[in-house]
Chain A
Amino acid sequence: MRITRTVAGRSRRAAVLATTGLTASALLLTGCSSDSDSSDTGSDANGKITLTVADYGQFGYKEAGLFAKYHELNPNITVKEDVTADEKVYYPKLLQQLNSGSGLADVQGIEVGRIKEIVDTKANEFADLSKVINAGDWVSWKEKQATTPDGAVIGAGTDIGPMSLCYNADLFKKAGLPTDRAEVAAKVAGGWEDYLKLGEEYKKKAPAGTYFMDSASAMFNAVVSSNAQQYYDESGKPVYKDSPSVKQGWDLAAEAADKKLTQGLAQFSDPWAAALRKGTVATVACPAWMAGQISVNAGDANKGKWDITTAPGSTAANWGGSFLAVPKKGKNVDEATKLVKWLTAPEQQAAVFKAIGVFPSNKGAYELADVKDAKLPYFNDAPIGQIYADEAKSIPEAVLGPKDGVVKDTISTQINNMEQRGTSPDDAWKAATSAIDKAIG
Chain B
Amino acid sequence: MATSTPTRDAFAPPPGGSQQKPASSRRQTWRSRLWRFDDKASPYAYIAPFFLVFGAFGLYPLLYTGWIALHRVELTGLDQMEWVGWDNFDKILHDSEFWTAVSNTFLIGVMSTVPQLLVALGLAHLLNYRLRASTFWRTVILTPYATSVASAALVFALVFRADGGLLNWVLQIVGFGDTNWANGHWTSKIAISVIVIWRWTGYNTLIYLAAMQAVPTDLYEAASLDGASRWQQFRKVTIPSLRPTILFTIVISTIGSMQLFGEPLLLEGGTLGATGGNENQYETLSVYLYNYGWNLGHLGPAAAVAWAMLALLLIIAAVNWLIGRFVRKSAV
User: Which residues of A line the B interface, CB within 8 A?
Assistant: 2-6, 8-9, 11-12, 14-15, 18-19, 21-22, 86, 88, 92, 95-96, 99, 117, 120-122, 266, 268-271, 274, 406, 409, 412-414, 416-417, 420-421, 423, 431, 434-435, 438-439, 441
Please give, as numbers and ranges, the residues of chain A lying within 8 Å of B295 by CB-CB distance. 88, 92, 406
**Chain B 272-288 interface mask (CB, 8 Å, partner A; 1/0):** 10110011000000000
Of the residues A6, A22, A121, A412, contact of B49 by C-beta under 8 Å = A22
Q: If A6-B18, A92-B294, A95-B76 touch, does A269 touch B42 (CB 8 Å cutoff)?
A: no
When chains A and B are docked, how far (Å) is the Cα of A5 from the Cα of B292?
56
B331 CB to closest chain A CB, in angstroms? 37
Query: Across the interface, do A266 and B272 meet the contact criterion of CB distance under 8 Å?
Result: yes
Please give, as numbers and ranges, the residues of chain B lying within 8 Å of A5 by CB-CB distance. 18, 35, 39
Query: Across the interface, do B77 and A121 meet the contact criterion of CB distance under 8 Å?
Result: yes
B205 CB to closest chain A CB, in angstroms? 34
7 closest A-B pairs by CB? A11-B42, A121-B76, A92-B294, A15-B45, A6-B13, A8-B39, A271-B163
Of the residues B49, B91, B274, contact of A88 by C-beta under 8 Å = B274
Name 10 interchain pairs, CB-CB below 8 A, sorted by A.
A11-B45, A12-B38, A18-B46, A88-B274, A92-B297, A95-B75, A95-B297, A271-B163, A414-B278, A421-B279
Please give, as numbers and ranges, the residues of chain A lying within 8 Å of B71 by CB-CB distance. none
Chain A CB within 10 Å, residue with most, of B18, B35, B46, B298: B18
Query: Across the interface, do B76 and A122 meet the contact criterion of CB distance under 8 Å?
Result: yes
Query: Across the interface, do A2 and B275 meet the contact criterion of CB distance under 8 Å?
Result: no
Of the residues B163, B278, B292, B294, contact of A416 by C-beta under 8 Å = B278
**Chain B 36-66 interface mask (CB, 8 Å, partner A; 1/0):** 0011001101101100100000000000000
When chains A and B are docked, how far (Å) is the Cα of A184 from the Cα of B60?
64
User: Which residues of B line the A interface, CB within 8 A?
Assistant: 13, 18-19, 35, 38-39, 42-43, 45-46, 48-49, 52, 74-78, 91, 95-97, 161-164, 183, 268-272, 274-275, 278-279, 292, 294-298, 301
When chains A and B are docked, how far (Å) is the Cα of A84 from the Cα of B7?
58
Of the residues A8, A413, A435, contact of B42 by C-beta under 8 Å = A8
Please give, as numbers and ranges, the residues of chain A lying within 8 Å of B298 by CB-CB distance. 438, 441
When chains A and B are docked, how far (Å) is the Cα of A438 from the Cα of B18?
69
Please give, as numbers and ranges, the residues of chain B lying within 8 Å of A409 by CB-CB distance. 271
Please give, as numbers and ranges, the residues of chain B lying within 8 Å of A6 by CB-CB distance. 13, 18
When chains A and B are docked, how far (Å) is the Cα of A406 from the Cα of B78?
20
Interface SS of A by simple majority = helix
Which residue of A has the minimal Cβ distance to B290?
Answer: A92
When chains A and B are docked, how far (Å) is the Cα of A441 from the Cα of B298?
8
Of the residues A12, A413, A420, contact of B275 by C-beta under 8 Å = A413
Chain B CB within 10 Å, residue with most, of A4, A6, A417: A6
Query: Across the interface, do A12 and B42 meet the contact criterion of CB distance under 8 Å?
Result: yes
Of the residues B18, B274, B297, contact of A2 by C-beta under 8 Å = B18
A148 CB to closest chain B CB, in angstroms? 15
B71 CB to closest chain A CB, in angstroms? 14
Query: Across the interface, do B42 and A15 meet the contact criterion of CB distance under 8 Å?
Result: yes
Which residue of B has the minimal Cβ distance to A100?
Answer: B78
Please give, as numbers and ranges, the residues of chain B lying within 8 Å of A439 by CB-CB distance. 296
A441 CB to closest chain B CB, in angstroms? 6
Given contacts A9-B18, A88-B271, A274-B163, 6 further A-B contacts (CB under 8 A): A19-B45, A121-B76, A121-B77, A266-B271, A413-B275, A434-B97
B299 CB to closest chain A CB, in angstroms? 10
Of the residues A8, A86, A406, A423, contact of B35 by C-beta under 8 Å = A8
B306 CB to closest chain A CB, in angstroms? 17
When chains A and B are docked, how far (Å) is the Cα of A86 from the Cα of B294?
14
Please give, as numbers and ranges, the residues of chain B lying within 8 Å of A435 by CB-CB distance. 97, 275
Query: Across the interface, do B46 and A21 meet the contact criterion of CB distance under 8 Å?
Result: no
Query: Across the interface, do A269 and B35 meet the contact criterion of CB distance under 8 Å?
Result: no
Query: Across the interface, do A121 and B74 meet the contact criterion of CB distance under 8 Å?
Result: yes
Query: Across the interface, do A271 and B162 meet the contact criterion of CB distance under 8 Å?
Result: yes
Which residue of B has the minimal Cβ distance to A86?
Answer: B270
Query: Across the interface, do A92 and B275 meet the contact criterion of CB distance under 8 Å?
Result: no
Please give, as numbers and ranges, the residues of chain A lying within 8 Å of B269 by CB-CB distance. 86
Query: Across the interface, do A18 and B35 meet the contact criterion of CB distance under 8 Å?
Result: no
Of the residues A3, A18, A414, A431, contact of B48 by C-beta under 8 Å = A18
Query: Across the interface, do B46 and A22 meet the contact criterion of CB distance under 8 Å?
Result: no
B272 CB to closest chain A CB, in angstroms? 7
B281 CB to closest chain A CB, in angstroms? 10
B229 CB to closest chain A CB, in angstroms? 47
Which residue of A has the minimal Cβ distance to B268?
Answer: A269
When chains A and B are docked, how far (Å) is the Cα of A95 from the Cα of B78?
10
When chains A and B are docked, how far (Å) is the Cα of A431 from the Cα of B281?
13
Q: If A15-B46, A406-B296 touch, does A413 touch B278 (CB 8 Å cutoff)?
A: yes
When chains A and B are docked, how far (Å) is the Cα of A86 from the Cα of B272?
12
When chains A and B are docked, how far (Å) is the Cα of A291 from the Cα of B102?
42
Please give, as numbers and ranges, the residues of chain A lying within 8 Å of B48 by CB-CB distance. 18, 22
When chains A and B are docked, how far (Å) is the Cα of A11 from the Cα of B296?
51
Please give, as numbers and ranges, the residues of chain B lying within 8 Å of A4 by CB-CB distance. 39
Query: Across the interface, do B49 and A21 meet the contact criterion of CB distance under 8 Å?
Result: yes
Please give, as numbers and ranges, the residues of chain B lying within 8 Å of A19 by CB-CB distance. 45
A121 CB to closest chain B CB, in angstroms? 4
Please give, as numbers and ranges, the residues of chain B lying within 8 Å of A122 by CB-CB distance. 76
A216 CB to closest chain B CB, in angstroms? 14
Chain B CB within 10 Å, residue with most, of A5, A417, A423: A5
When chains A and B are docked, how far (Å) is the Cα of A434 from the Cα of B270?
21
When chains A and B are docked, how far (Å) is the Cα of A96 from the Cα of B269?
21
When chains A and B are docked, how far (Å) is the Cα of A406 from the Cα of B275?
12
Query: Across the interface, do B46 and A14 meet the contact criterion of CB distance under 8 Å?
Result: yes
Please give, as numbers and ranges, the residues of chain B lying within 8 Å of A12 by CB-CB distance. 38, 42
Which residue of B has the minimal Cβ distance to A265?
Answer: B163
Query: Across the interface, do A268 and B46 meet the contact criterion of CB distance under 8 Å?
Result: no
Which residue of B has the minimal Cβ distance to A18?
Answer: B45
When chains A and B are docked, how far (Å) is the Cα of A76 from the Cα of B314?
59
When chains A and B are docked, how far (Å) is the Cα of A48 from the Cα of B35?
61
Please give, as numbers and ranges, the residues of chain A lying within 8 Å of B76 by CB-CB distance. 95, 117, 120-122
Chain B CB within 10 Å, residue with most, of A99, A122, A423: A99
Which residue of A has the minimal Cβ distance to B20?
Answer: A5
Please give, as numbers and ranges, the residues of chain B lying within 8 Å of A406 by CB-CB distance. 295-296
Q: If A8-B42, A269-B268, A420-B183 touch, does A438 touch B95 (CB 8 Å cutoff)?
A: yes
A100 CB to closest chain B CB, in angstroms? 9
B37 CB to closest chain A CB, in angstroms? 10
Please give, as numbers and ranges, the residues of chain B lying within 8 Å of A2 by CB-CB distance. 13, 18-19
A411 CB to closest chain B CB, in angstroms? 12
Please give, as numbers and ranges, the residues of chain B lying within 8 Å of A417 by CB-CB distance. 278-279
When chains A and B are docked, how far (Å) is the Cα of A240 from the Cα of B134?
64
A17 CB to closest chain B CB, in angstroms? 10
When chains A and B are docked, how far (Å) is the Cα of A15 from the Cα of B38?
9
Q: If A8-B35, A421-B279 touch, does A3 touch B13 (CB 8 Å cutoff)?
A: yes
